[in-house]
Every structure is written in structure tokens, then in C-alpha cells.
Amino acid sequence: MDIGSLKLDGFTALAPLAGISNLPFRRIVKRCGCSLVYSEMVSVKGLLYNSDKTYSLLQSSIEEKPLSVQIFGSDPKEMAQAAAIIEKLTFNQNPSVKVADTIDINFGCSVKKVIKSGAGVALMQNVANAENILKAVRDAISIPLTIKIRSGWDSSGKDAFKIAEIAQKCKVDAIAFHPRVASQGFRGKADWSLIGKLKANLSIPLIGNGDILSADDGIAMMEMTGCDGVMVGRGAMADPFILSDIEKIKSVGKLEQNRSLEEIFSVMKGLLISSVEHFGELPACKMMRSRLVWFIKGYPECSKFRRALTNIESMSQAIDIINEYQSFINNLNRQ
């Protein structure tokens, strides 16, 4: 899948997830074989007001490239200014390499605070402003521009079709589509049929999103809708390997072998270590209390592992618990 001038090695993307798709998690998902990772949602106002918290969301690593930075806002001028700032960001260790490979505009966030500001899915009700934003940002940057949309405000998908038509006219390079209406949040079922209908009306790549909770779901979406790629959010939280599994099945027709226990625990430790480096030991350990268990859901006595993580305060303490549980599973497998 190509997104404008950006040529991807595959067709999977990690969705932008507030509080989840931070740099350590993106690095791990990339290590697991994902083609394109998205940043957490970046406020253009926070960026223009030089908010340290906002700028922290833009911290990146060359090993996670390519990276799409997602922005949200409602003022065309501010959106263009923020996009231009992001495009100019480079790595300290290699100033010739840009941090962002694409910039994505959020048209899908249904959080009340975001909607109230006129951003996110609210833009799908304000077609004139949406077009002004797309034109302004497109004129402000030379790297690929993408958007992420929902079905809109009713189940017909007419809002999505209208925004997609405008986006293509404004030379947006790709669209990610989550076919749920604004009021659904993540409830109910995503209407994949709308992905197929929208794909039939587009000449630019369409990335399908919504209810991909297994590798088979990702393959099924591509086969059912004809979309060019798939974006996984909550499914990657439950199984960070899901994106690489989709890539493997798509390329060779099946998973060649079961994932080794050593690989699973190695990636788990990698997320812990990367998080400690990024956030500091205690903040990272508090975060990992609920996240390390993602990797071993369904394993024997994983509830005990979860309880053991409840009060971790140091990386060494967490590593000891991981090693102990890994030994327990290895012993079970030998019996």
C-alpha cells in the first residue's frame, strides 16, 4: 500500500489511541511487524501554545518509522500552522530525517470535550469548515496527508461519503474509515458494508478500521470490502502481535508456525524496559500493572500473574514476576 509518496512494506496500521499508542507501545508493535504506526491525538492548540505535554506526544524514534502524526482542531489557520511545525520536526541524532512521514487529521473522535470544540467528528457536520481545513493543511505541507473518519452522525454513512469526496478533491492521500456513528463510541458493531461502498467511490487508498480483534478479522475485512489496508486499535491492545499475523496470512496464506513463548515474553519485557526509559521507573511500572497481562490473556493462571503485578514499583520487581510466570508456563508445557 502506498500513501502518496510513502511506500509501505505492508498494509497494516496501528490506530491512534489516546493514552495507549505512545512511543514505547508503538516501538513494540513495530517490532512485531506493523507497517505504519500512528501517534496519539495531538492538539493543535497545545502545539501552538508550546505545551510541554503536547510536545511530549511527538517524541519519536527512528526505529518506529514510518510514523503518522494525528492532529485535531477546528480552525483552518491553526491546523495549517501546526501541521507545518510537525513537518519540520527532525531527530536530534539525525537532523536530516523528519519525525513525521504523514500527517493525519482526526475526523472521528467522539469525546464530548473534542466535539464541543468543533473538532473530531464534529467536523463531519461542518462540511464547509472541513473543506477549509483540508485545503489549508494540504497547502501547508509537502508530506502525505491523510484523514480518519467515522460513518458520521447517522448509520447511512452519508457524512462519510461527503467528507471522503471533499478529501479526495483536496488531494488527501488516503482515508482511514471506522464505520460507527458518532453516538456509538466503540459500542455496537462496525458496519463493514460501508467500507466496501466507500472504497468503490474512491481512487485513493482506503484503510478499514473497526472490530478487528483477530488476524482472521483483518483478512476478512480486506476480502469483504476490498479496502487497501487495515487499521487495528483495541485488538492490538489485546494482542500486540495481531498486525504482524495479518501481514503474514496475507502474504503467505497462513501463519507458518505458532509464536514461541520466548518471543512473547521477550516482547513483554521490551515494552516494560522501553516504558521505563520513556516515562521513568515508577510511572512506567504503575502503567504496566495493567498492560503486561495483555500478552498472556487466556494462559493458565494468568489471573495470578495479573494480581502479582498489582503493586510493582520497580523494573527489577516486574522482571522477576515475568520470569517466574514464564518458568511456570514452561514447566506446564514440559509435563
For each of the chain's 335 residues, which pLDDT tens digit applies? 899 999 999 999 999 999 999 999 999 999 888 999 999 999 999 999 999 999 999 999 999 999 999 999 999 999 999 999 999 999 988 899 999 999 999 999 989 999 999 999 999 999 999 999 999 999 999 999 999 999 988 889 999 999 999 999 999 999 999 999 877 767 779 999 999 999 999 999 999 999 999 999 999 999 999 999 999 998 998 788 899 899 989 887 777 667 788 988 999 999 999 999 999 999 999 999 999 998 888 899 999 999 999 999 999 999 999 999 999 999 988 87
Backbone angles phi, psi at 14, to 5 degrees: -85, 125
CATH number, domain 261-334, options 1.10.1200, 2.60.120, 1.10.10, 3.40.50? 1.10.1200
**Domain locations in the chain?**
2-252, 261-334
What's the whole-model pTM score? 0.93
Out of 32, 109, 170, 285, pick the active-site residue.
109
Angstrom CA distances, 288 to 262, 263, 273, stand at 19, 18, 10
Range 47-62 burial, b when 16+ CB lie within 10 A, else e = bbeeeeebeebbebbe
pLDDT, position 321:
96
Cα 154 to Cα 162: distance, rounded to the nearest angstrom: 13
pLDDT, position 314:
97
pLDDT, position 250:
86
Listed residue (23, 22, 1, 20) closest to 10, CA to CA? 1
pLDDT, position 187:
72
pLDDT, position 256:
64
Cα 325 to Cα 265: distance, rounded to the nearest angstrom: 10
pLDDT, position 260:
84
pLDDT, position 199:
97
Angstrom CA distances, 324 to 146, 168, 299, 329, stand at 45, 53, 14, 9
Three-class secondary structure of residue 65 per DSSP:
coil
Listed residue (167, 213, 27) closest to 177, CA to CA? 167
Cα 60 to Cα 47: distance, rounded to the nearest angstrom: 16
Cα 281 to Cα 267: distance, rounded to the nearest angstrom: 18
Contacts of 321 (CB under 8 A, 6+ apart): 305, 308, 309, 312
Three-state SS for 148-169 is EEEEECCCCCHHHHHHHHHHHH
List the alpha helices (DSSP H) in the chain. Answer: 23-31, 44-48, 52-56, 76-88, 112-116, 127-140, 158-169, 192-200, 215-225, 234-238, 242-252, 261-279, 281-291, 302-309, 315-334
Fold category of 2-252 in CATH? TIM Barrel (3.20.20)
Asked if 109 is an active-site residue, the reply is: yes
Contacts of 49 (CB under 8 A, 6+ apart): none
Cα 69 to Cα 37: distance, rounded to the nearest angstrom: 9
Cα 203 to Cα 100: distance, rounded to the nearest angstrom: 24
Cα 111 to Cα 18: distance, rounded to the nearest angstrom: 11
pLDDT, position 238:
77
Q: Dig out the grid coordinates for 56 from the structure.
A: 511530549
Identify the DSSP state of 184.
G
